[in-house]
Amino acid sequence: MCDQTFMAATFGPCDSCGKASPLMNIYIKSEAINYCSFCVEMMACQQLQKGETLQSLKKESDSLKKKLEEERGKLNDVELHQVAEKVEVLSSLSIKTRRVLKGHGNKVLCVDWCKDKRRLVSSSQDGKAIVWDAFTLNKEHGVTLPCTWVMACAYAPSGCAVACGGLDNKCSVVPLSLDKNENLAAKKKSVAMHTNYVSGCTFTNSDMQLLTSSGDGTCALWDVESGQLLQSFHGHTADVLSLDLAPSETGNTFVSGGCDMKANVWDMRSGQNIQSFESHESDINCVRYYPSGDAFASASDDATCRFYDLRADREVAVYQKDSVIFGASSVDFSLSGRLLFAGYNDYTINVWDVLKGTRVSILFGHENRVSRVRVSPDGTALCSASWDNTLRIWA
C-alpha cells in the first residue's frame, strides 16, 4: 500500500467508521460518499457496498440464521418419539460376528458393498484396496495405490470397477479384471482431482459419473470417461468428511457433512446448496440417507447421531446416551430404516431404534476404532471396518 497524497477538500466524521479524519469525496453511482481513506480501501478490497461493513454483514447473517431457527420451530408440533409411541417395541436383536476379514496391513478406513450382496471393497492406510467375497473370505482383487490413507472407496453399480482415493488428492477408478496376473494398478484411471485429501466417493446411478468430497471443503461431480469436472459444490467452510447420494431413480440430490459442523443438501444439476443443518457440536464424520430419501442421519465427534427430516426442514431426533462418550465415526440404516447402526471411536457399534430414539443393542468385538459401517444391499448383514486392520461381518 503506497502512501497517497491527495488534496483533502473536507475534514470531518467519516460516514462509515465515524472517526474524524480527512475525507475522500467519491461518488458511487452518482451518490456522494464521504469516507476516510482507510474505509475506502476496505470497501474496495472487500467489495462492500455503501453502508456495509464486515460487522453489519455478520449481524445480518446472524439475524437471518436466528429467524430461520424460529421458522423451523413454528412447524414443530410433535416430536418423533411421540409419534413412535404407537409403534410396537422391537424384539431383542441377536447379532453376532459371522466373519472376520483379515488381510490388510494397517487401519481399514472404508468399505463398500457390491450390488450382488456378497462382494465388498475395502481400503486401508497401507495404500491398498482389496475386493473380497464376504461369504467365502476370498480376496478376489488387490490394488496398490501410490499413497497411504486411502479413505474413500466405492463399488461401481455394475460391479465391474471400484473407485478409491485419499491422501493423493485424487479419486481413481480401477476396472476389475479377471486375469489374476494382471496388475490392476496399471489400468487405474485418475478421475477426480482435488486440492486436498479425498474423504468420500460414490458412483451415481451409473458407472459413468463419480461424486467426491474432499478436505479442501468442496464436493465435485466428475465424468469418469473424460475425467471432466461436471459440477462443483461450494459452501462448506472446512473439510468435507462424508457424502451420500439420495436413493431415488431420478437421483439428483446428495447430502454432505464436514468439520464445519454443517450438513448440507445439494442439487446436483445446479450445484446449489438447497438445505443446511447445523445442530451438531463438533465435526460431522458421516451422513447417510434414510431408505425413503426424505430424511438422513449424521454421526459426529460430539458422541451423538442425529436424524434430520428434509420435509420438516429440521433435526427430529438425537441418539445419545450418558455412557456413550466417544465420537461416532459412521452410520448406516437397516433396510427398513427402523434401525440405525453407528460405529464409534471406543471400538463398539451401537444399534439405535430410529423412531423411539433408544439404544437397542451394543456390539463388541473390534480392538480399535470402528471407521465405517455398511449394511448389505439386501439388509441381511452388516460390515464394519476398523483400525484394528480387520473387517467384521455381523448378522
Q: Which of residues 47-66 bind other proteins (CB under 8 A)?
A: 47-48, 52, 54, 57-58, 60-61, 64-65
Q: What is the footprint of other proteins within residues 69-128 (CB under 8 A)?
A: 71-72, 75-80, 83, 87, 91, 98-99, 107, 114-119
In angstroms, the CA 140 to CA 184 distance is: 12
Number of residues that bind other proteins (CB under 8 A): 99
**Which pairs count as long-range contacts for 363-368, CB under 8 Å and 24+ apart, including other chains?**
363/95, 363/394, 365/97, 365/392, 366/390, 366/392, 368/107
Strand partners, 279: none
In angstroms, the CA 152 to CA 122 distance is: 9
Which one of residues 23, 129, 316, 370 is an interface residue with other proteins (CB under 8 A)?
316
Quote the least distance from Cβ 66 to other proteins, whole Å. 10
In angstroms, the CA 212 to CA 138 distance is: 29
Residues 6+ apart with CB under 8 A from 50: 28, 31, 33, 43
Q: Kindly list the strands in the beta sheet with 119-124, ordered across the sheet, starting from the edge strand earlier in the chain.
A: 108-113, 119-124, 128-133, 138-144
Nearer to other proteins, 20 or 238 (CB): 238
Quote the least distance from Cβ 335 to other proteins, whole Å. 7
| Interaction between residue 345 and other proteins (CB under 8 A) | yes
Contact 192, 165 (CB under 8 A): yes
> Which segment (7-15, 184-192, 218-226, 311-319) binds other proteins by CB under 8 A?
311-319
| Interaction between residue 136 and other proteins (CB under 8 A) | yes
Contact 161, 176 (CB under 8 A): yes
Which one of residues 50, 67, 102, 269 is an interface residue with other proteins (CB under 8 A)?
67
Strand partners, 175: 161
Quote the least distance from Cβ 183 to other proteins, whole Å. 16
Contact 332, 322 (CB under 8 A): no
Nearer to other proteins, 220 or 265 (CB): 265
Q: What is the footprint of other proteins within residues 291-310 (CB under 8 A)?
A: 291-292, 294, 301-303, 309
| Interaction between residue 332 and other proteins (CB under 8 A) | no
Q: What is the footprint of other proteins within residues 170-229 (CB under 8 A)?
A: 175-178, 196-197, 215, 217
| Interaction between residue 238 and other proteins (CB under 8 A) | yes
Q: What is the footprint of other proteins within residues 239-268 (CB under 8 A)?
A: 239, 241, 249, 259-260
- The SS3 of residue 323 is coil
Nearer to other proteins, 128 or 215 (CB): 215
Q: What is the footprint of other proteins within residues 6-45 (CB under 8 A)?
A: none
Residues 6+ apart with CB under 8 A from 67: none
| Interaction between residue 312 and other proteins (CB under 8 A) | yes
| Interaction between residue 385 and other proteins (CB under 8 A) | no
Quote the least distance from Cβ 28 to other proteins, whole Å. 16
Q: How far is CA 316 from CA 29, 72, 385, in A?
A: 48, 11, 28
